[in-house]
């Protein structure tokens, strides 16, 4: 009898603790690749999101409640992303979600978030089909629909002054759409495309593909890949002794890229809206804190994750804790200025970005032209 009484008291106490604990917290889900091929990008998300959350909590939280990020590992796998989406929407404490890294994972999880009415704010999905796929889908990195034409007109034609380009691209949702927009813009602007060849994720030997592209004799090579693959491609280009102008979309921008590619990266041109030597003090403060935590400099993805978290928090502050209200307030965001610039959503939930041209010179990223102002 006594033992039963103790048991009941203990459970009531525990229950009381959890109830008390739960009241004070608002939870945001974070789905990102913490392991697998894209683990480094997921780490960047995590560092940035946690930094943003600590900043918010230090300033009093959201409507008096502390913010907590629930992190789940999508492994860069769209099936995992969908499973995580299911778990997030079923958890009544989670009011919105940030993630995923790859467009493929975001697209896979989108129907689940849409049906359940929860915001999915992707810091890095640049596939033009993602944000329009639902009312609750938002992306802040800008889409390939803007990057493609910028790469053709400002980088290839104006900065590099070349007339023909071959394309090597990763054969997934992002890579294919990047190639498509580049090729379409090239047709519009009169840039010749000599050949397009894909490769699959995880590929490490590009000699065969590069030898094949070299035969078509282009003046430049457009490398539509993430920076770890792009670093291998530039090295193998150098090993083949092929002296071609290199250009790439913003996916390659990272200090890891230069350390992995070495001097093979010299001269590669890409676009970004986040530059490490930006004199803006908020940007510099962010960079320094990120370096202190992560031991490396942040890249575009990390900066977008940071802005996403802050932006979402402001929307929750205005809207309260109802998932649908959060969505409406997020869509109405119009005077948010983050480390990646001024953010305002289009009707479908995208951001129209403007870029700077970055070139690798003497082992560092140097801003060569600025079209963002």
Binding site for another protein (CB under 8 A): 34-37, 39-40, 42-43, 171, 197-200, 202-205, 207-209, 211-212, 215, 228, 231-232, 235-236, 238-241, 256, 259-260, 262
Print burial letters for 203-229: b (CB count within 10 Å at least 16), e (below 16): eeebeebbeebbeeebbbbbbbbbbbb
Q: Tell me whether residue 36 or residue 320 sits nearer to another protein (CB atom).
A: 36
Q: Tell me whether residue 8 or residue 208 sits nearer to another protein (CB atom).
A: 208
Q: Kindly state the smallest distance separating residue 274's Cβ from another protein, in Å.
A: 20
Hey, which residues does 366 pair with through a beta bridge? Answer: 359
8 Å CB contact between 29 and 94: yes
Q: Give the strands of the sheet with 94-99, arranged side by side.
A: 66-73, 25-32, 94-99, 120-122, 137-139
- Residue tagged 């009941």 (tokens): 8
Q: Kindly state the smallest distance separating residue 90's Cβ from another protein, in Å.
A: 27
Residues 6+ apart with CB under 8 A from 139: 106, 121, 122, 123, 124, 125, 126, 130, 131, 349, 350, 351
Q: Tell me whether residue 94 or residue 265 sits nearer to another protein (CB atom).
A: 265
Q: Tell me whether residue 90 or residue 205 sits nearer to another protein (CB atom).
A: 205
Q: Tell me whether residue 235 or residue 318 sits nearer to another protein (CB atom).
A: 235
Q: Kindly state the smallest distance separating residue 48's Cβ from another protein, in Å.
A: 16
Q: Tell me whether residue 147 or residue 173 sits nearer to another protein (CB atom).
A: 173
8 Å CB contact between 89 and 113: yes
Q: Kindly state the smallest distance separating residue 256's Cβ from another protein, in Å.
A: 7
Q: Kindly state the smallest distance separating residue 339's Cβ from another protein, in Å.
A: 23
Q: Kindly state the smallest distance separating residue 172's Cβ from another protein, in Å.
A: 12
Q: Tell me whether residue 320 or residue 363 sits nearer to another protein (CB atom).
A: 363
Return d(Cα 197, Cα 171) in angstroms, integer: 9
C-alpha 88 chain-centroid distance = 20
Q: Tell me whether residue 97 or residue 231 sits nearer to another protein (CB atom).
A: 231
Ranges of H-type helices in 36-77: 39-58
Q: Kindly state the smallest distance separating residue 361's Cβ from another protein, in Å.
A: 20
Residues 6+ apart with CB under 8 A from 289: 51
Return d(Cα 74, Cα 267) in angstroms, integer: 35
Q: Kindly state the smallest distance separating residue 269's Cβ from another protein, in Å.
A: 22
Residues 6+ apart with CB under 8 A from 285: none
């Amino acid at each position: 009898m006594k033992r039963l009484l103790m048991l009941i008291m203990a459970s009531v106490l525990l229950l009381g603790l959890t109830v008390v604990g739960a009241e004070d917290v608002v939870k945001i889900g974070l789905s990102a690749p913490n392991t697998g091929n894209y683990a480094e990008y997921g780490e960047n998300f995590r560092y940035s999101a946690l930094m943003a959350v600590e900043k918010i909590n230090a300033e009093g939280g959201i409507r008096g409640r502390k913010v907590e990020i629930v992190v789940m590992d999508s492994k860069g796998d769209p099936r995992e992303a969908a499973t995580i989406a299911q778990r997030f929407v079923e958890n009544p404490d989670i009011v919105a979600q940030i993630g995923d890294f790859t467009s493929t994972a975001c697209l896979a999880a989108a129907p689940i978030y849409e049906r359940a009415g929860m915001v999915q704010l992707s810091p890095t999905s640049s596939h033009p089909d993602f944000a329009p796929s639902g009312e609750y889908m938002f992306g802040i990195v800008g889409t390939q629909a803007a990057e493609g034409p910028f790469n053709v007109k400002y980088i290839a034609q104006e900065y590099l002054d070349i007339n023909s380009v071959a394309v090597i691209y990763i054969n997934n949702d992002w890579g294919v759409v990047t190639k498509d927009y580049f090729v379409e813009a090239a047709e519009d602007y009169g840039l010749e495309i000599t050949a397009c060849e894909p490769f699959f994720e995880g590929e490490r030997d590009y000699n065969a593909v590069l030898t094949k592209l070299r035969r078509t004799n282009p003046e430049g090579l457009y490398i539509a890949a993430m920076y770890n693959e792009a670093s291998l491609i530039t090295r193998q280009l150098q090993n083949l002794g092929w002296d071609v102008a290199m250009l790439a979309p913003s996916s390659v921008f990272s200090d890891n890229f230069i350390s992995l590619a070495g001097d093979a990266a010299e001269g590669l041109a890409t676009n970004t809206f986040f530059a490490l030597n930006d004199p803006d003090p908020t940007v510099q403060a962010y960079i320094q804190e990120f370096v202190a935590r992560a031991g490396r400099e942040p890249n575009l993805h990390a900066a977008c994750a940071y802005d996403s978290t802050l932006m979402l928090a402001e929307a929750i502050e205005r809207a309260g804790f109802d998932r649908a209200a959060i969505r409406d307030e997020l869509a109405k965001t119009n005077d948010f200025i983050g480390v990646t610039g001024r953010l305002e959503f289009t009707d479908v939930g995208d951001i129209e970005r403007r870029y700077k041209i970055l070139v690798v010179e003497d082992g560092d990223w140097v801003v060569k032209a600025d079209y963002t102002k």
